[in-house]
Structure 1
């Protein structure tokens, strides 16, 4: 069914092919209806030829209307409608003349009634048919135009959405790079080349992960944690190993898909506003679990005691937290939870709840 809908959509987009398909199908249908109608009366077999020729004449006469209507498409609607009615009447008269001439010459063997108006017989009925053809043409063309504008709007919206996601993902805090390079420089000055080399390698791998992964696509949670560990290993050098990281992932959540580097701004926020202010060992814990059809990720630190509602940090400390929330909103709409609460003892806990997805389900 989906395949048929896709083929129909492709056919609709090819306007020229779609026109000829409808044009041929419509006039074949007209011929069939007339043929079925003729079966109700005693008509000679030759009448079938009359029906075919009449449908063929209608087919040929309406083709120029298509190109004529293209030329008047940009006119004011009232004037365009008036011209379309006049054009339909002219075509219907020509069709009636051809149709009646064919009837009298072939079916009546050249016999003609006394009145010269016999050629205009049924012209009013044919006018209604041509007018209906014109109405269908304008209706379908207008519908195609609306669909085209809708697709353009959707494409523009999609491009803007992708640009926003990329902007949010690439807002890496320059302080992190500055502090890391500073730490590497210090290690070089004290001639601790081994540690400096390890730090450069970890920074290189972290930045490679950041650049290689499309911010619009998602990565397995296990891969996301690997990138976080690279980041945390870099930070451990700055804190002289006075940074303790605990990771506890439920096995079934390791392959769950998450936005790449969605947790990095939260870890960075913990280090900047919590761990850096702690005397002794700074602790960060990362946990994940599956709750019904959702993935829940919780990041906690043992920073200073919070005196007010943690959610006020959105306004106070801004970029990292707001960045994360905006990315989640762009990716999941209303189907996510981003909550901050006080950690037991001291510090902050950030909880993210998103739909549980794996590569098999996507």
Structure 2
């Protein structure tokens, strides 16, 4: 749908283009005739040559509207007939208008009277029909180009909106995936602490759980956050995991302060850490360590999550919903400008995410 602003811009461009055509045509006609030694009423002739283009300027917006309603690129007998009628009507209107101007102003100054209106009108209709067909076709071509550009721009906007909606949906799916099993595990840990008589630890765990759930809700709708905020959420998540695993879980974070303002996808680290704990630390009787690191190099931010648990087998543990969501969200946010890999280290497993560096 064409907005009021677009219509105003169209009218301005239409008036400007036809004014340039009118001035050029009038100037060329007068100068050529004067150079050939002709004698006419030059001022009147110049005015007539400028004003004669007025019907085309008036008719251009309706022609474009007709072309949009009945596209010439999909011809039918009705479409062809309507455009022929429109072109013929404009030729008749321009010829009548030009003849009327000549009767009023007598620009050729051949006789005291320029002649009768009807013969002048028919003469202009006959002599101007090919010019009218050419101009009508030019308007259709220009309208087709402009409409194609608008459609392409709208498709790009729709694609971007759809991509953003998909990324939001994936983020919400990841949140929904986090909440149930994590909540149940955390509550089970709290119950165990209460039974052991560790009420203070149980209370602090519930506070941490509340902070995690509040963080999930507060981040709703945001695709990117500062790395410092992402680490803050991860710290509350790990606080609960440490209650569950006690001394079996060791966390190391190696991130320089100057990287804390870097923008990263919301909830990008949590599923990587959860994957490391679930498939690495939880499967090792003696527990293990998880190392989280970030470095900046060549305009990129590289995030890594390493665990020293069992290595990946023939069937990689990288096909779960959480990691699939991470891949899809990274693709939605960064296109081909990201890299994600999960590979065996010596010993353990390391997940790496590389994305463009952007600071807040």
Do the aligned partners of residues 185 and 151 (structure 1) sit closer, same or farther apart at CA in structure 2, a change above 3 Å counting? farther
2:69, 2:332 → 1: CA distance? 43
Q: Report whether the alignment pairs 1:240 with 2:246.
A: yes
- The question of whether the paired residues in 2 share the 8 Å contact of 1:54 and 1:99 is answered with yes
2:336 counterpart residue number: 334
User: Which deviates further from its counterpart, 142-151 or 77-86?
Assistant: 142-151
Conserved? CA contact 2:307–2:349, under 8 Å: yes
Matches of 1:351 and 1:324 in 2, distance apart?
Answer: 11
Deviation of residue 105 (structure 1)?
A: 4.0
1:215–1:260 Cα contact (<8 Å) kept: no
RMSD: 3.2
Distance 1:205 1:24 in 2: 62
Given that residues 287 and 298 in structure 1 are in contact (C-alpha distance below 8 angstroms), is that contact kept between their aligned partners in structure 2?
yes
Residues 214-272 of structure 1: per-residue CA shift (max 9 Å, x gap):
56532222221221111110001111243211111134322222111101111111111
CA distance in 1 between counterparts of 2:157 and 2:186 reads: 40
Task: Flag the 1:43–1:229 CA change in 2: closer, same or farther, 3 A.
Answer: same
1:94: which partner in 2?
93
Matches of residues 87-166 of structure 1 in structure 2 within 5 Å?
A: 87-107=86-106, 108=109, 111-112=113-114, 117-166=119-168
Query: How far apart in 2 are the matches of 1:116 and 1:61?
Result: 22
Counterparts of 1:86 and 1:254, CA distance in 2: 68
Contact 2:318/2:342 (CA < 8 Å) preserved in 1? Answer: no
Matching residue of 1:183: 189
**Cα offset, 1:213, TM superposition:** 2.1
Of the structure 1 ranges 171-180 and 183-192, higher mean CA displacement relative to structure 2 is found in 183-192
Of 258, 272, 281, the residue aligned with 1:266 is 272
| Inter-partner Cα distance in structure 2 for 1:292 and 1:113 | 80
Looking at structure 2, the residues matched to 340 and 116 of structure 1 have their Cα atoms a distance apart, in angstroms, of: 85
Q: Deviations over 1:28-76 (max 9, x none)?
A: 2233123312133243223233234423355456676567667656996
Moved more, 58-67 or 16-25: 58-67
Give CA deviations for 1:124-170 in whole Å, capped at 9, x if unaligned.
45334433443344334434543444344334433332233223323
Report the equivalent of 1:39: 31
- What residue is the counterpart of 1:18 in the other structure? 9
Q: Greater shift after overlay, 230-239 or 277-286?
A: 277-286
Deviation, 1:180, is 0.7
The structural deviation recorded for 1:87 is 2.8
State the number of aligned residues: 344
Query: Which range moves more in the overlay, 155-164 or 109-118?
Result: 109-118
CA distance in 2, matches of 1:160, 1:62: 35
The residue correspondences of 1:198-217 to structure 2 (distance < 5 A) are: 198-214=204-220, 217=223
Structure-2 separation of matches of 1:329 and 1:64 = 44
Distance 1:230 1:287 in 2: 17
SS at match of 1:97: helix
Once the two structures are overlaid, the 10-residue window that deviates more, 230-239 or 211-220, is: 211-220
Shift of 1:181: 1.5
Question: Could you tell me how far apart the structure 1 residues matched to 2:255 and 2:163 are?
Answer: 31
Which sections of structure 2, spanning at least 5 residues, go unmatched? none
Residues 205, 61 of structure 1: CA spacing in aligned structure 2 closer, same or farther, 3 A cutoff? closer
Aligned 8 A contact 1:282 1:301 in 2: yes
Distance verdict in 2 for CA 1:112–1:158, change over 3 Å: closer
CA deviation vs aligned residue, 1:79-108 (integer Å, no higher than 9, x gap): 323432333223313322331243144224
SS in structure 1 of the partner of residue 317 of structure 2 = helix
From 302, 313, 318, the counterpart of 2:317 = 313
d(CA) in 2 for partners of 1:115, 1:332: 68
2: CA distance, partners of 1:159 / 1:116:
59
Give the aligned partner of residue 327 of structure 2: 325
**2:296 counterpart of 1:290:** yes
Q: Hey, what's the Cα distance between the residues in 1 that align with 2:118 and 2:124?
A: 14
If the length of structure 1 is used for normalisation, what is the TM-score?
A: 0.81
Deviation at 1:354, TM superposition (A): 1.6
Give the distance between the partners of 2:87 and 2:217, measured in 1 at CA: 61
* Equivalent pair of 1:162/1:216 in contact (CA under 8 Å): no
- Deviation, structure 1 residue 117: 3.4
